Chain A
Amino acid sequence: MSVISFIVFFIMYKAGDPVELLLPPDATHQEVVQMRAYLGLDKPFTTQYAIFVKNALKGDIGNSYIYGQPAVDIVLERFPATLELAFLAMFFSIILGIPMGVIASVKPKSILSRSIMFFSLAGISIPVFWTGMVFVLICSVYLGVLPSSGRGEVLFFTSAFTWDGIKHLIMPVITLTLFQLALIIRLTRTGMMEVLMQDYIKLAKAKGLPNRVVIYYHALKNTLIPVITVIGIQFGQLIAFTIVTETIFAWPGTGKLIIDSIQNLDRPIVVAYLLMVSFIFVIINFMVDVIYTFVDPRVRVK
């Protein structure tokens, strides 16, 4: 994480001077000099970074240049909104994606399997901003049944507990789910088809075990390891890169915040955000490792 903080710090330092964007064009030279000194930007890079590390160790990443509030607070304030979208999208992708993948692998020639595969192909190839905009056009502009933007009523950090909140959630969650769902379907299907050819599956069938047990217990369990790995990576991606969806639906999450902050060279927010995201990535990787041990006893440390 210290490496990340250094890289981000350096890139933001090189990217330009935020003072030019903070002050109005008719500001005087004195003002510019004062503002630069006030933000500590007049010092050389190494000094700036040293001050940052000293404060960061005390838990203070600094105040946002744009909002004037502590950067960590601003990022934390927005995180629930992003996590909510990511969790729901991942949840639906998993509970729908794995069974659909299994179905598509068991009878690959059936109409149902073919339509699932067609759907997953569409899900993978259609860009998110397009699906999002089409949803808005149909559901909000023409039908007027769903709100096109915002989060609605929020209770306990999430909008999933109120009807108004749920209405706001439907479109963004579906938009985000589509791609992940398609990906999980395809992964599960490929994995299953490979496993179903294995000798031990033939043996299980020969033993006279019911088809369902063979598929859902013996075969699926062996398919899951790569699927879980990808789910872990994708979940991290969802948290870090919901930017497009958040922008389309004016969802007040961190994705929108980070884009604006990069454009305005708001270094404290960018640093705070990336530190937090890298921390979450570490946690997710750890959790994925733990889940491995449940699914596959061979992974356990002796």
Chain B
Amino acid sequence: MRKFFVLLLGLLMCASAVNARTLKIGMSSDARSMDPYFHNETATNSMLSNIFEGLTYFDKDLNVYPVLAKSWKVVGENTWEFKLRKGVKFHNGNDFNADDVIFSIDRIKNWGKSGFKSKVNMIKSFDKIDDYTVRITTKGPYPILLRKLSYVKMLDAEYCRDKDAAFLGLNPVGTGPFKFVAWRKGESLTLTANKDYWRAQPFYSDVIFKPLTNNATRVAAALSGEVDIIDRIPVMDVQRIKKSSKLNFFMQPGLRLIYLQMDQGRLETPYVKGKNPFLDVRVRQAIYLGINEDSIVKHIMKGFAVPAGQFNPEVVFGYDKSIKRPAYNAVEAKKLLAKAGYPNGFEVTLDAPNNRYVNDAQIAQAIASSLSRIGIKVKVNALPKATFFPKTDRLDTSFFLIGWASTDGDSSSFLDGITHTYDKEAGYGRYNRGRYSNAQVDELIEKAGVTIDEKERLGYLIEAQRIALVEDMSVIPLHYQVDLYASGKNIKFTPRTDSHMYVYDMK
């Protein structure tokens, strides 16, 4: 009997030794839920991308590729037909088929707490044709459907149907390369390889995500080898990471643009005495020229940001190669101000969050000192995000610093949300908190929204941006944030543009 146990133990140890590779990842924040439709928030999406899969997904440069859909074609004017992959199993052993797709789209669209409704609000109807064919009809031509569908992670209809939301928020069942093992909130999320995965087995047999929210702790854990990968290295610790013989350092240009917007919708604006100076395009252009962005990137971001001359970085569809950021020119800026009738500048308050973007409050301070040189006296009002966002939403601001990331990889995200005239009914311009409005631009944005032909569409997107940026200066781009990572030297890690920690691609 004892021999038997010894043997058994030995076997177990061998078995675990053969393919036991555990990857430990230190994350700057914890997941919020194990329900993929609850919050559209990067850290949660990032971790869940290992458990759940959609019909489509992004590669590291935001190109769409088929995952649970095998192929698709456009069959009617606004109807797409998707052929589903056969032989895919959920982690509980159930087969993946058209019923699950129908259930998932229905839940993400209609569940009260869904944070992803905007991803599917253009979908009018979705029907099962047979067990492995689904048709999706959109409200109009909808070129970016494939991108939006990457957010619709597939849930098992049989499993989910009779469970309540609180249970599903703790017990995820997907089709992804890794299965859920345990989630100790604030401490660890443990996953193990899915033995029945439809592609080749993942390289790592186990994955542990550890939320290490304190920057110094996260860096220390990487330096001591307790975790293999960390995200969001604070800029002041980059040198230590680079000097370490055990770690590789990665810098991945991100999607998030940090920009300024000003009140362009009212004759008088709350934080400037007299008439609203921002209504004059020359004032807006003067501010653009009068901000020494290179110095902000160098001194405040320590070089870990990219000066921006457009709404989106180059990886995003709709980028315009011909638009460059003009060089800092305080003399020219002063001239423009004088022409606009403000030879001595004016006074204004700049609202900025202080815990949302990298060094957000310091950037605002630097802008204030930059603009003081062209005569504009800027008072910085830095607020916690919980106060800042509602304040700007109420339009209780004249001039503010904010950020946007076109996470779909398509510039329509920025144009719809910030450039288009505010339109509550049609769902445009929710973040257009400066109330910029140009009918010609609106028309181009709307045309781009219903054009399937990529080349024609690109033309509309580029033209809309050109007018809104170069001619109208509707917002003032500052820089794109950069994601900083460190990983152990023995790990093949490639950062992704969407910042997901997709372990299946790591070795």
Contact = CB atoms under 8 A, between A and B. Distances in A.
A68 B169 contact: yes
B38 interface: yes
A235 B333 CA distance: 60
Contacts of B220: 133, 136-137, 140-141, 148-149
A151 B187 CA distance: 7
Contacts of A26: 118, 407, 413, 416-417, 430
Which of the listed residues B214, B225, B431 has the most CB atoms from chain A within 10 Å of its own CB? B214
A46 B40 CA distance: 31
Interface in A30-79: 30-32, 34-35, 38, 63, 66-70, 74, 77-78
A27 B431 CA distance: 10
A157 to B, nearest CB: 12
A248 B216 contact: yes
B113 A256 contact: no
A77 B185 CA distance: 9
A16 B389 CA distance: 9
A23 B217 contact: no
B212 interface: yes
Interface stretch (B78-86, B90-98, B321-329, B380-388): B380-388
B424 A29 contact: yes
A15 interface: yes
A263 B39 contact: no
Nearest to B168: A68
Interface string B398-421: 000000100100000100110000
B217 A250 contact: yes
A140 to B, nearest CB: 4
Interface size, A (range): 35 or more
A149 B386 contact: no
Given A21-B386, A70-B166, A151-B187, A248 B217 contact: yes
A27 B117 contact: yes
Interface residues on B, range: 35 or more
Contacts of B407: 26
A244 B390 CA distance: 29
B386 A265 contact: yes
B293 interface: no
Interface in A187-230: none
Contact of B221 (A18, A66, A78, A148): A148
A149 B226 contact: yes
Interface string B23-47: 0000000001101001111000000
B390 to A, nearest CB: 4
A297 interface: no
Contact of A24 (B115, B213, B355, B427): B115
A25 B417 contact: yes
A131 interface: no
Contact of A38 (B41, B112, B223, B224): B112
Interface in B325-363: 355
B264 interface: no
Interface in B203-255: 210-214, 216-217, 220-221, 223-226
A136 B216 CA distance: 10
Contact of A15 (B35, B216, B387): B387
Interface of B: 32-33, 35, 38-41, 112-113, 115-118, 121, 165-166, 169-170, 184-188, 210-214, 216-217, 220-221, 223-226, 355, 384-387, 389-390, 393, 404, 407, 413, 416-417, 424, 427, 430-431
